[in-house]
């Protein structure tokens, strides 16, 4: 055979291989709706762990009739809400999408900023105010303005790609209790609604609308949040069904005034200062989210024509309940049982309206969840403890460093998990070497009990650091304009529990496996049931849906389409 004919034969073979690998994927019909569910802080093991309290049609539908990936982990270090949501939306790491934390220090403004705050816009609501009744969601207090927009998200989202591909004909919406849970998923082209603790309404900003759609005004006028007044959060099943039936009253749980540590948890009166906050600390928050989402599906006629629509729903209660009571508590167990009913309700509603066969469903989480130190102590795991960061700048080691470099005033400008921001102005004025100070501070921090790593950003940028999983995860989180000067990683089971004076039971945000571990479940759209234990990342989700729809991948995406979803 002549060389040219061999070449021809090979190229023909190559073309046919290409055809089978790429073009056979689009054998399915286009879904009418992409439903992306995010359960805030749903650690990957939790649905199976609490299997005994689950019913039919919720998690069991996803796990038994869908594709369940049980070994999915984030690769970035700062496992926080906006970081995970933005990663799900964009299919990439914070180094690319830019959402490095719930809060970061903006050097230009010289202050801490909240991830999606945007002074160019304002909250679109007649009677809400900036000072939300938020005691748990401390991070929002950082924001100077009540304006919210996706402008800080630097790469495109899956929803943006759908908008571009379908020439703006896809209807794109996102709903969540948390503003950042909705704004991130709606992307730059969609519409976002979130819950205002100030007035118990679902709100948006004038980035999205000039005026509320009538159905939203009507929904708010009906005051669905007020129906919980005088009621309480009780157990869904009889107590003996629960793994944690005998562990309701634990002194390490956060005792919120009037809500308490044990069932029933009273919501109190509508005009109680913390009424709406209590709703979010219980399954009521997810109920309200479902209620609003169902009205949205109806009112906006989602999934009724041939152009695929997109709806993201982020359920926040699992996260708040975890922070307050811990992942291993009767409250967390009952919350999962009730979330399961919420999901079953949502799926049956969609089945009636649109058909599950016409709906591509994906469920995942923005991050996992740690165990509360108190729970670990009960099991004899005594090394678990809380880390006091408040006194960092005044510790003898840092004081000695300041003396060495001739700095009297604060060397540490700000600390907000996970970054320490040095006083660069001071360092510059004194003509000191920033890299040398970062290195010296990092070395001192490494000596603290409970600190696993302290990595200098200059070192990340310039030095040849060892290629370890930890360093890679910190690099994945690194954005030159937003990251701080030193990344602080605590040892496993060591946490900060003090947020602006409020003590919580547990907090996620580490690169450890309990925080990176999330479920990934695809269902509907005629997908066959399968369980998969191979290692995947949540960055794969957006590229998978993009490939499924035949739209291009989001601009910064690093994940790979999951072949099991495409080759059904």
Which residues, numbered 43-82, are part of the site for Zn ion (CB under 5 A)?
none
Distance CA 477, CA 487 (A): 10
* Closest to Zn ion by CB, 318 or 359: 318
If residue 542 lies in a helix (H) or strand (E), which one and from where to where? helix 541-549
Which is closer to Zn ion, CB of 118 or CB of 319?
Answer: 319
State in angstroms the smallest separation of the CB of 489 from Zn ion.
18
Residue nearest Zn ion, CB atom distance:
319
Beta strands in 64-205 (DSSP E): 67-73, 103-106, 111-114, 123-124, 172-176, 191-196, 201-205
203 - beta bridge partners? 194
Q: Is 438 in the site for Zn ion (CB under 5 A)?
A: no
Q: Select the span of 317-325, 352-360, 401-409, 434-442 touching Zn ion (CB under 5 A).
A: 317-325
Task: Give the nearest distance from C-beta 136 to Zn ion in angstroms.
Answer: 9
Q: Which stretch binds Zn ion (CB under 5 A): 315-323, 388-396, 443-451, 531-539?
A: 315-323
- Between 201 and 319, whose beta carbon lies closer to Zn ion? 319
Determine the interface stretch with Zn ion among 88-96, 316-324, 372-380, 494-502 (rule: CB under 5 A): 316-324
Got the DSSP string for 329-389? SHHHHHHHHHHHHHHHHHHHHHHHHT-GGGEEEEEE-S------HHHHHHTT-TT-EE---
Question: From the CB of 367, what's the least distance to Zn ion, in Å?
Answer: 7
Which pair of structure tokens corresponds to residue 403?
């003396």
- State the Cα–Cα distance between residues 517 and 515, nearest whole angstrom: 6
Helix 283-299 to helix 317-325 angle, to the nearest 10 degrees?
170
CB nearer to Zn ion: pick between 319 and 371: 319
**Min dist. Cβ of residue 78 to Zn ion (A):** 12
Cβ 319 to Zn ion shortest distance, Å: 4
Which stretch in 133-141, 313-321, 378-386, 452-460 sits in contact with Zn ion by CB under 5 A?
A: 313-321
CB of 323 to Zn ion, least distance (A): 6
What gap in Å lies between CA 80 and CA 96, rounded to an integer?
Answer: 16
Closer Cβ to Zn ion, 425 or 513, answer by number = 513
Q: Does 366 bind Zn ion (CB under 5 A)?
A: no
Give how far the C-alpha of residue 357 lies from the chain's centroid of Cα atoms, to the nearest Å.
Answer: 27
From the list 53-61, 232-240, 318-326, 516-524, the region that binds Zn ion by CB under 5 A is 318-326
Looking at residues 459 to 488 of the shown chain, list those that interact with Zn ion (rule: CB under 5 A): none
319 binds Zn ion, rule: CB under 5 A? yes
Q: DSSP letter for 21, please.
A: I
E-strand ranges in 392-549 read 412-416, 419-422, 451-456, 486-490, 494-495, 498-499, 502-503, 517-524, 530-532
Dist CA 314 CA 174 (whole Å): 8
Q: Which is nearer to Zn ion, 319 or 444 (CB)?
A: 319
**Nearer to Zn ion (CB atom), residue 155 or residue 369:** 369
Interacting residues of 170 by C-beta distance below 8 A, sequence separation 6+: 159, 162, 163, 307, 308, 309, 310
Smaller CB distance to Zn ion: residue 89 or 354? 89
Min separation Cβ 80 and Zn ion, Å:
7
How many CA atoms lie less than 13 Å away from 99 in the CB half-sphere? 37
Q: Is residue 38 within 8 Å of 364, Cβ to Cβ?
A: yes
Choose one: 45-53, 121-129, 231-239, 319-327; the region binding Zn ion (CB under 5 A): 319-327
Minimum distance of Zn ion from residue 54's CB (angstroms) = 23
Which one, 338 or 367, has the nearer CB to Zn ion? 367
What residues line the site for Zn ion (CB under 5 A)? 319
């Amino acid at each position: 055979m002549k060389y040219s004919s061999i070449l021809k034969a090979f190229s023909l073979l190559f073309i046919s291989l290409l055809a089978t690998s790429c073009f056979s994927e689009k054998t399915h019909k286009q879904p009418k709706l992409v439903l992306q569910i995010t359960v805030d802080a749903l650690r990957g093991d939790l649905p199976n762990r609490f299997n005994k309290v689950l019913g039919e049609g919720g998690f069991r539908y996803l796990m038994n009739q869908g594709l369940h990936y049980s070994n999915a982990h984030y690769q970035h270090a700062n496992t926080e809400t906006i970081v995970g949501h933005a990663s799900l939306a964009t299919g990439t790491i914070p180094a690319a999408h830019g959402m490095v934390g719930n809060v970061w220090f903006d050097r230009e403004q010289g202050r801490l900023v909240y991830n999606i705050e945007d002074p160019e816009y304002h909250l679109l609501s007649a009677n809400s105010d900036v000072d939300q009744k938020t005691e748990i969601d401390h991070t929002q207090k950082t924001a100077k303005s009540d304006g919210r927009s996706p402008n800080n998200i630097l790469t495109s989202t899956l929803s943006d790609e759908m908008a571009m591909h379908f020439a703006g004909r896809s209807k794109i919406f996102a709903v969540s209790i948390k503003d950042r849970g909705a704004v991130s998923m709606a992307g730059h082209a969609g519409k976002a609604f979130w819950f205002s603790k100030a007035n118990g309404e679902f709100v948006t900003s004038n980035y999205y609308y000039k005026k509320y759609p009538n159905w939203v005004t009507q929904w708010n006028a009906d005051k669905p949040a007020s129906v919980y007044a005088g009621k309480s959060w009780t157990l869904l099943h009889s107590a003996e069904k629960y793994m944690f039936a005998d562990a309701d009253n634990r002194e390490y749980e956060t005792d919120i005034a009037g809500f308490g540590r044990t069932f029933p948890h009273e919501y109190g009166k509508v005009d109680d200062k913390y009424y709406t906050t209590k709703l979010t600390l219980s399954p009521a928050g997810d109920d309200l989210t479902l209620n609003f989402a169902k009205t949205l599906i109806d009112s906006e006629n989602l999934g009724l024509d041939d152009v695929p629509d997109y709806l993201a729903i982020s359920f926040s209660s699992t996260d708040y309940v975890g922070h307050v009571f811990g992942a291993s508590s009767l409250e967390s167990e009952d919350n999962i049982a009730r979330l399961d009913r919420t999901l079953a309700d949502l799926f049956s509603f969609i089945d009636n309206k649109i058909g599950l066969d016409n709906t591509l469903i994906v469920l995942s989480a923005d991050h996992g969840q740690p165990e509360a130190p108190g729970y670990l102590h009960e099991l004899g795991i005594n090394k678990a403890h809380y880390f006091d960061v408040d006194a960092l700048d005044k510790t003898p080691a840092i004081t000695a460093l300041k003396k060495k470099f001739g700095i009297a005033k604060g060397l540490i400008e700000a600390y907000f998990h996970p970054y320490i921001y040095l006083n660069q102005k001071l360092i510059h004025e004194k003509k000191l070497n920033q890299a040398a100070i970062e290195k010296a501070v990092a070395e001192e921090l490494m000596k603290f009990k409970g600190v696993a790593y302290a990595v200098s950003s200059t070192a990340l940028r310039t030095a040849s650091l060892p290629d370890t999983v930890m360093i890679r995860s910190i690099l994945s989180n690194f954005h030159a304009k937003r990251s701080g000067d030193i990344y602080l990683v605590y040892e496993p089971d060591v946490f900060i529990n003090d947020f602006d004076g409020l003590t919580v039971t547990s907090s996620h945000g580490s690169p450890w496996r309990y925080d990176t571990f999330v479920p990934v479940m695809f269902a509907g759209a005629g997908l066959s049931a399968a369980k998969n234990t191979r290692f995947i990342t949540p960055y794969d989700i957006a590229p998978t849906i993009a490939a499924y729809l035949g739209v291009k991948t989001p601009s910064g995406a690093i994940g790979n389409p999951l072949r099991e979803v495409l080759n059904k």
